[in-house]
Every structure is written in structure tokens, then in C-alpha cells.
Structure 1
Amino acid sequence: MNLNMNSVESLVAQIQGLSGNIGELTQLRNYLKQCDDLLRTESTRLAPLLTELDPSVHSLGYLYILEACTSATVSKDQANELVLSVARFINVCAADQIRLAPEKFISICKRLKEQVVLLEDPMRGVAPLLTSIRKLQSSTEQLTTLHPDFLLLCLMSKCYKTGLSVLEDDVFEVDQPRDLFLYCYYGGMICIGQKKFRKALELLHNVVTAPMPIISAIAVEAFKKYILVSLIHLGQFATSFPKYTSSAAQRNLKNFSQSYLDLVNSYSTGKVSDVENYVQNNKDKFESDNNLGLVKQVVSSMYKRNIQRLTQTYLTLSLQDIANTVQLNSAKEAEMHVLQMIQEGDIYATINQKDGMVRFLEDPEQYKTCEMIERLDFSIQRIMMLSKKVTTMNEVMSCDPSYLGKVGRERQRFDYDDFDTVPSKFNL
């Protein structure tokens, strides 16, 4: 079957006539599915059809034709036009229509992402992919397969703040496990770029502890960054895994990250010179992992940790003594560190510029201001919401046939007659 004038007119007429209510759209989707092979076969001749359709009104039909048009290999010269066409469609298409064919919509969005990367202009894809995510989502709690692509473009173009706008959403629905791994890994890197280390730790922790039957390269790289961010943000790293971590991760992650665990040991000595020497000796390893910049931040964080330890021992201390104790080059450098830590809320202190003395203070927060009460109330409301959400998810899971089937099979493994063999000292 070839795409002749009659079939072209019929296709356009069907799209224009069945783009009304949901019932007609369902009928149109079934029709387009039947034409899918034909559309792909004739993909090079379909572009003129798009001029006869309004992408905001005939979004479903337009999507099928556009997806077929973009499925063919394009040259670098054609890539620019493809990016423009897909971006325009994403901006104006009707969300309720494209959700009837999510695989087609995802296909053209991923095609756009591939082309902007090839054009070495990832920023062009950031805004369209953010729009596509919002149109594809049934709610902000859904993690789509486009989330990792969007975050990757944000990383490549250094649009970290735009990426953060998506990372602020709570995620409870995941389409594919791999999407969650990449979402958390790329999200962690974006948070590192913005020095939001607490959020970065949370996301990287999710990668490391997520269920995995076998170890993945994503988990290994996330574990390395997890170690470094832990040292920067917490000043320490716990080498033991939480109980809910998969056995595959517990068995293998440390084997692929020994250089980083050795860095933890050097860091725990509290001696900047030891850490600097270790980093210098293993510079090539960290550089090949693209983690050298983060490792340098680990070294810098040691000065902050050592200054914080001084607040637990002294009430007042000269800037020169601080410089000597934490191995800084001068009192001026010590002053800059102390001022930055005061500004960031890491310590509470005042500096007497006249005699160069630092006075360490107690935390002035009394937790009774209106602002603090609002923050506490917001936290309480959020915890209540999360608790309700977890309860609902447990109820849904307890009724899931596949879950109940698995639990039933597990129970069959236990023979209750085995209780007769319990040693007598345990018998009641």
C-alpha cells in the first residue's frame, strides 16, 4: 500500500474530524495505530501534511505524523529544523491528546534531546523538555522517562536552577527503575553544582540503596560521589550500609571504590597534609572519574571541620592561633574562613578586628519567632502528608495480586512442622 492522494486526504480528514471529544480521540488513536506502518514507510513524504493540521487542535494526529517524519536519519543541517519543529509542537500541543500516545510523544522528545546534543547546544532542549514533562505527567508525583533526559541537558548546559525546579517535586510513581537511578544520579550532580549538598546526599543515597539484582555502573559512580559529598557536608562517612540496601550493592560497591574509602581514612585523621598528599598521589584516578573538583572541595572542607572542632574547646582564640592549628597560611586566610562559616551559619562567632581575636558563641536561635513557627508547621504538615501517602501505598500493595502471590510463595517455603525440631531449651 502506498500513500496516494486519496489516502492522504482520508488521513487528514480523519484527524480533523476526530479531534473533538475523548470518544472520538480514542477512535482516532485506533485508526492511527493501523496506519503506523504506512506512516513510517512514507515518512519522507509526510511533511506537507503537517501544514494542513493545527498542532494545538489536532495534537494526536499531528504527533503521529511528526514522529514518523523525525524517525528517519537526519543530517546536521536538517537537525536544526527538526529541533525547531519538535519544540514548537511541544509548546502548543494539547496534554490530554498526547497522553493517549505517550510512547510517540516520548519518542519525539528523546529525538529532540539527541539532536541538541549532536548540535552541541543542549540549552535549546531544556525548556521544551521541561514543558514536555509537565504535559506528560498525570501529576507532579509521577517520574517520567523524560526526567533523566531533561536533567542531563540541564547538567550539560549548566542550567542547574532549572533542574532544581523539578527536583523539588516529591516522587511516588516511577515508570521504569532505570529512570529512577538516572534521575537521582543526575539530580545529585545538579545539587552538587548548586552546593546543595544535603539534597545531593538524599538523591545519591537513593541510588546506592535502591533495589538492584546486579551492580550497575550508575550505582558505582553514585557511590563514589556519595562518599565525597558525605565528607564535604557531614565531615564523615559511615562505611556500613543500611539494612535495606540490596545484597548486590553491599557485596560489590566497596570493591569498585577503594580509592575513595582510603580517602575517608585519610580524612578521619583530621590532618590536612595527609589528605593533600593522598589526593596528589591518586590525582589521576580521581581525574579519570571526573571527580577531582569534588575531591578538592573535600580537602577545603577539612579547614571548616577543624575550625568547628575548635568551637568545642575554646571560647576565644586569635586568628593566628586558628591559622596555626588548622594549617592555614596566615591569619588573614583564617579570618576569611571564619567569616564565610559565620555567613553560612556553620558557626556562631564574632571577630574583634582590633586585636584579631575570635569569640565563639552559642546558637542564638530560640525557636520562638513567627518565621520558625511557620517552618515547624510546614514540616509537620509535610510529615503528616507523607505518612498518609505511605499508608495509602501500603493498602494498595496489600491488595496487589502479584505481591500477594509472591508472599504466598515465600510462606510455602516454611514448614510449620519444623517447630518440633526446635532445641528443648527454647520450648515453652
Structure 2
Amino acid sequence: MDSVEALVAQIQGLSSSPEDISHLHNFLKEAEELLLSQAHRLASYLDQLDPSNHSLGYLYILEAYTSAPISKEQASDLVLSVVSFINSCVAEQIRLAPDKFISVCKRFKDHVLLLQSPMRGVAPMLMAVRKLQLSSEHLTTLHPDFLLLCLLAKCYKTGLSILEDDIFEVDQPRDFFLYCYYGGMICIGQKRFRKAMELLHNVVTAPMSTINAIAIEAYKKYILVSLIQSGQFSTTFPKYTSSVAQRNLKNFSQPYLDLANSYNTGKISELEECVQTNTDKFEIDSNLGLVKQVVSSLYKRNIQRLTQTYLTLSLQDIANTVQLNTPKEAEMHVLQMIQDGEIFATINQKDGMVSFHEDPEQYKSCEMIEHIDSSIQRIMTLSKKLSAVDEVISSDPVYLAKAGRERPRFDFDDFDSVPQRFNM
């Protein structure tokens, strides 16, 4: 291909059928150097193509065009062009050149950040993720970029929409680390601490050959979220955690481990002293707000302990016991806990007394039954996935060769407890 004009003609003529697109793809691969050499003047050629009809050709030209340096003034127009392309392109065509599509989308993210307008990138990037995905179980390299834009734009609920997917396929380990880390931060922003714990735990325990900054920051937040959610933190790692993580993570997180130790005493004064000592470190890590929630959670935890001992208690006694300054502060904490469903109680405003009650949930409502059924269905699906993965690994030649090298000889007794498989 000796000119961009000729290539554009090929794109217009070879975009109507799968066979034509296959031929076009070969032409486009051969024309990559030509496109890069003409990157600065490709904008006019994009106007001659329809991103919905000529998706593959449009992608190749757009990727080459975005590879050239672009000023802040040009970035705004480029963002509009990329948004239009992402919304219009045909998924089957762009998946023929996923690296090109990923490159365009990542540059798009950089441009909206350059314009200090992450909100403009949230919806288009979600669309890009869905078009790149082969299924909702597939973690693409665009997932972390989408979640980062959600964080910066404070669109936490939009980010949650993608965190509901069960992920079983991952392209790159780094994508998984960032997906779980950013996802954990989004859940923290929505105060969904249980889900945040799950995601951050995945980062901390994921296989790693060397320690990385993502795992370190995730471990710090994991400590804080564990204290808020469950009121405790164990320094013992699960057995499947990499030895690298077990040896190194604690060394980078001492102020947070000290905080957990102070929390475990149940004494507000000790916890606040620890916070005061390490305030600068928490602030540098951008975790001071989360640390303050840890302090608040200890007040709540101590109030919850009172419900296990007393049926009624005055606001003044609650304030004195949990080291709050005034009965009014105690009242505000109790009211918030009642609203959040953390305790069941009523407050008599007249005499300032709090009456604690049993959990009224009988676990027999339609909503609860639907929730239990949904959980069972999800577990059954996961079980089937694990069985399928187990079968694939069990028949994988590489695995079998390695297992054979590690154990060259088997005894007949080894197979006594192995059940036979039958096709029914």
C-alpha cells in the first residue's frame, strides 16, 4: 500500500463481509508503518470513514493518529472522536485487533485526565470494556482504567456495576492487582466494607514473585477495613499467600499493625494516641480519613458490647463507658448505629435512656429467601467452574509432565482411594 488514500479506499470497499474484513486486516497490518509516518495528517481521513461500518479500518487509522504528540487544545476534539468511535464501533471487528483498541482507550483515558475531566471518560470506558470482553467473566486490561476514572470522578456506583461480575479469566497479573485495589477503594467510598475486604484480600494473597507497591498499599487498607468491618485483624497470612508477601508486607506497614494492636485493647485513649503518633504517615498514604473511620468504629464496637450485657442504659452511662465527651455524642452514635442496622434499640428522649432489643429478623421473608436462593445459585455456578478447571488441569500435558518428573514412580496403593469416573 503506497498511500493513505488507497488504504482508505480499501477500507471502504472491504468492510461488508467477514471474508472481506479478513482480507482488509492483512492490508492494514502491512500499512502500519505508512500510517505511523503520516500520523499528524490522519484526522481528515477519519472523516471519510463511518466508525460503525468501517470499525477495523477506522481503529487502525485512529490508533496511528493518537500515537502522535497532541496538545491540550487538540485533546478535547480528539476525546470527542474517540467517544464517538467507542460508542459506534462493532465489537466483532475491534476484537480482531484488541491491542490497537486497548492502546486507543488508554490514550483516551490519558487525554481526559490531561483535561482534568475524568467524568467524561467514565461511560465511554465502560462501553469499551463491554465491547472488548468476550464474556462478563473476562477481566480485560481496560478494567483498571475504568475503575480509576470512576474513583477520580467519584462515580462509585458506576464502578460497582462492574465489580458485581465474577471474574475467572485474567489477561495480565498487573491488571488483576489494580482491578482489586481500585475496586476495593470504590467499595470503601460506598462503605461496602465486606466487599472491599474481599477485593483487597485478593491483592494481598495473589501469587507474586517480587513485592510490588500495589500489594503494599492494598495491605495497609486491608488492615484498616478489617478493623472497621470485623473489629479485629489477624497478622497471620493464609497458607496460599506467596512467601514474598508473607516476608515483606509487614515491614512496610508497621504503623498500621501498631494501630491494629491498639484497637484490640478496646481502649479509645490508646487508639487515639497511636493515631496521633502516626498521623503524618497516614496522611502521606492518603489513609487518614479511613483511619478516622477506624476510630469511630471502635466507639461503635464498644457500644455493641454493651448490648450484650445491659437491657437499658442511660446515654450518660454510654458516654462514660465508651469514652465519649457528652451524652449528645453518645446519642448520635446510637442513632447512626440503629439506622445502619448495627444495633436494635430505642431511645427515650424524655429520660435519656436507651433500651436494647433482639434482632427482629426472622429469616422467613420473601426478600431473605430470594437472597439465600441467589447465594446458593452463585455457589453452584462457582462449583461447576472449579470442576471444569480441575478437569482441564488434570489433562494438561505440561502439568502431567511436571507431576511425572516430581513423582516418577507410583505404587498401586496410591490409587486405592481414587474414585472411578463414569459417563452417565
Mark yes or no: TM-score above 0.5: yes
2:54 aligned residue: 58
Residue 234 of structure 2 corresponds to 238
1:248 aligns with 2:234: no
Structure 1 residues 127-136 or 7-16, which shifts more?
Answer: 7-16
Q: Distance in 2 between matches of 1:415 and 1:233?
A: 48
**Aligned-pair distance for 1:415?**
10
Q: CA deviation at 1:174?
A: 0.4
What's the offset of the Cα at 1:354?
A: 2.2
Q: Distance in 2 between matches of 1:155 and 1:174?
A: 22
Q: Take 2:150 and 2:364, find their aligned partners in 1: how far apart are those partners?
A: 39
CA deviation after TM superposition for structure 1 residue 364, in Å: 1.3
Q: Partner residue of 2:416?
A: none
Q: In structure 2, what is the Cα distance between the partners aligned to 1:415 and 1:385?
A: 34
**Match for 1:325 among 308, 321, 331?**
321
Residue deviations 1:195-252 (CA, integer Å, cap 9, x gap) = 1101100000000000111111100000000000001111110110011111110111
In the TM superposition, what is the alpha-carbon distance from 1:401 to its structure 2 partner?
3.1
C-alpha offsets along residues 42-87 of structure 1, whole Å, 9 cap, x if unaligned?
1122222212211100000010011111100111111111111111
Alignment match, 1:426: none
What value does the CA root-mean-square deviation take over the aligned residues?
Answer: 1.5
TM-score, structure 2 normalization? 0.94
Distance in 2 separating the partners of 1:60 and 1:95: 10
The alignment status of 1:20 with 2:13, answered yes or no, reads no
Which residue number in structure 2 is paired with residue 390 of structure 1? 386
Residue aligned with 2:99, SS:
helix
Q: How does 1:384-423 map to 2 (within 5 A)?
A: 384-412=380-408
Q: Which moved more, 1:261-270 or 1:391-400?
A: 391-400
Gaps of 5+ in 2: 412-424
Q: Which residue of 2 aligns with 1:159?
A: 155
Correspondence for 2:101 among 101, 105, 117: 105
Aligned partner of 1:197 in structure 2 is 193
Native 8 Å contact 2:63 2:103 kept in 1: yes
Q: Quick one: structure 1 residues 402 and 80, their matched pair in 2 at CA, closer, same or farther if it must change by over 3 Å?
A: farther
The whole-number CA distance in structure 2 between the counterparts of 1:171 and 1:71 is 31
Instruction: Pick from 374, 378, 387 the counterpart of residue 378 of structure 1.
Output: 374
> What code does the residue aligned with 1:21 have?
S
Residues 4 and 34 of structure 2 are in contact (CA less than 8 Å); yes or no, is this contact kept in structure 1? Answer: no
2:147 counterpart letter in structure 1: L
Residue deviations 1:358-411, cap 9 Å, x none? 111111111112221111111111111111111112222223333333333433
Give 1:25 deviation, angstroms.
1.4
* Regions of 4+ moved over 4 Å: none
SS at match of 2:354: strand
Measured in 1, the distance between the counterparts of 2:263 and 2:41 equals: 64
Give 1:303's aligned residue: 299
Describe the SS at the equivalent of 2:364: coil
Q: How far apart are the structure 1 equivalents of 2:400 and 2:343? A: 52
Which position in structure 2 is the counterpart of 1:312?
308
State the match for 1:283 in structure 2: 279
SS in structure 1 at match of 2:313: strand
Equivalent residue, structure 2, for 1:131: 127
Q: Are 1:115 and 2:111 matched, yes or no?
A: yes
What corresponds to 1:423 in structure 2? none
Aligned counterpart, 1:356? 352
Partner of 1:264: 260
Partner Cα distance (2:117, 2:405) in 1: 52
SS of match in other structure, 1:350: strand
Deviates more, 1:115-124 or 1:177-186: 115-124
Q: Partner of 1:208 in structure 2?
A: 204
Separation in 1, partners of 2:166, 2:149? 21
1:308-365, Cα deviation, whole Å (9 max, x unpaired): 1111111111111001000111112111111111111111112222222111111111
Aligned-partner SS, 1:337 = helix
CA–CA distance in 1 between the matches of 2:404 and 2:50? 53
Cα separation, 1, equivalents of 2:41 and 2:353: 79
Q: Deviations over 1:100-140 (max 9, x none)?
A: 11000000000001111112111111111111001111111
TM-score (norm 1): 0.93
Structure 2: distance between partners of 1:215 and 1:29: 41
Q: Structure 2 CA distance, aligned partners of 1:55 and 1:302?
A: 55
Corresponding residue number in structure 2 for 1:420 = none
Establish whether residue 145 from structure 1 lines up as the match of residue 141 from structure 2: yes
2 CA distance for matches of 1:81 and 1:72? 14
